Amino acid sequence: MKIKILHVLNSPSIGGIETFVYYLTKMQQSNPQLEVSILFSRPEGNLKDRFISTGIKCYFLDIKPFDLDVRKYIRFAKISSNFDILHFHTFLPMRELIAARLKPKIVYTQHSVDGFGRVKKKTDAFRKLVFRHFLNHQSDYVTYNSEYTREFWSQRGVSNSRSKVVYNGVTFETGPVSHKNDEPVFHIDPGKFVIGTSSRFISWKRVDLLIRSFATFQTGKEDVLLLLVGDGSEMNELVKLVKELDIEDKVVFTGYTTNVTYYQSLMDVCVFPSTTEAFGLVAIECMYLGKPVLVFNDGGGITELIRKIEPENVVNDPDMLAGSLDHYYHNRELLTGENEKKRKSFAESFDMKIAENQFYDIYTQL
């Protein structure tokens, strides 16, 4: 008999958690011992069509964080009661209180270090209290996507002994990387030495630190380019900063794009200056392409990954970052050969099939 799994998310919107679940459930489809479905607490998001296209059964509700509409929870309970295991990836207090009363087996995967990068709310203290209780007393198993994430929550009172680190898996594109669909193509001179990042442009991603480091690094160099792939609430401020630093002719903003891998393939060195990342999906993606990845020492999970393979690529401040960029600029043999192979091999150890196997083991234990 198949194990019936219901993955529970907030919305089908683009983000690291949603992308991970998208690829995980696609991999789980090939496991004949599993029957997989997904429930979204919100009805809309820019990944909705992609989830539906997989053929996986998707449920779309409209439950807000502290929604008091009893009818919505009755529907949630009715759907959830048809599954053996509820696998949560995000947390809504009222929804999870209902789930616990259904007495299913519950797996909670902690993907984030909650609270960074968003406005504080009056309900935060209550939410964290309920969250800690849910993980410690109502979850049958808790997984973390990095040692950093596990330690973060351990320090905040999460102590469920039935837990382990399951690193996020990655589904790698095979074959040559190319530009897809009808989005405009930004021409990048093949003679340029390209520094780049692919990110949401929000405060804790700290893209401004990369821009400032690049401004220092590029002095006296006419063959360098900064490629900034993404969009977000900080975009206008970043564009303004580039103008203030008078480096507009050496910086390209792509804006939102679905061709992230294509632009990553054009980079010589990838930089992810964020703080308190829970994992570091983009770092693994770029290393699979053979690219060196530079991060800051307070990067969290993403720093944990880079320290495993190239600890010299962990920097302390923007000046040190500029120096590391200069080092690769003058030592380009470090970009290819055995170094390139080592990075790709390291990335392959995070193949999604490995994560799928680990979660399957947890399901069968329960």
> Per-residue confidence of the chain (366 residues) as pLDDT tens digits?
899 999 999 999 877 899 899 999 999 999 999 999 999 999 999 889 999 999 999 999 999 888 889 999 999 999 999 999 999 999 998 899 888 888 889 999 999 887 555 556 767 788 888 899 999 999 999 999 999 999 999 999 999 999 999 999 988 877 778 788 878 888 888 899 999 999 999 999 999 999 999 999 999 999 999 999 999 999 999 999 999 999 999 999 999 998 999 999 999 999 999 999 999 889 999 999 999 999 999 999 999 999 999 999 999 999 999 999 999 999 999 999 999 999 999 999 999 999 999 999 999 999
Number of domains in the chain: 2
Strand order in the sheet with 251-255: 251-255, 224-229, 193-198, 269-272, 293-296, 314-315
Looking at residue 336, what is its pLDDT?
97
Note whether 127 and 199 are same-domain residues. Answer: no
Note whether 206 and 300 are same-domain residues. Answer: yes
Which range of residues forms the domain containing residue 231?
A: 193-348
Note whether 209 and 336 are same-domain residues. Answer: yes
Note whether 49 and 85 are same-domain residues. Answer: yes
Q: Count the Cβ atoms, other than its own, within 10 Å of residue 346.
A: 17
Please report whether residue 57 resides in a domain.
yes
Please report whether residue 220 resides in a domain.
yes
Please report whether residue 176 resides in a domain.
no
Note whether 205 and 150 are same-domain residues. Answer: no
Looking at residue 300, what is its pLDDT?
94
Please report whether residue 181 resides in a domain.
no
Please report whether residue 180 resides in a domain.
no
Looking at residue 179, what is its pLDDT?
82
Note whether 199 and 167 are same-domain residues. Answer: no
Buried b (16+ CB within 10 A) or exposed e, 324-343: bbeebbeeeeebeeeebeeb
Note whether 137 and 212 are same-domain residues. Answer: no
Please report whether residue 188 resides in a domain.
no
Looking at residue 115, what is its pLDDT?
56
Note whether 200 and 156 are same-domain residues. Answer: no
Note whether 341 and 361 are same-domain residues. Answer: no
Buried b (16+ CB within 10 A) or exposed e, 72-95: bbeebeebbeebbbbbbbbbbbbb
The pTM assigned to this predicted structure is 0.88
Task: Read off the CATH number of the domain in which 223 is found.
Answer: 3.40.50.2000
d(CA 237, CA 1): 55
Note whether 167 and 203 are same-domain residues. Answer: no
Note whether 17 and 166 are same-domain residues. Answer: yes
Note whether 102 and 222 are same-domain residues. Answer: no
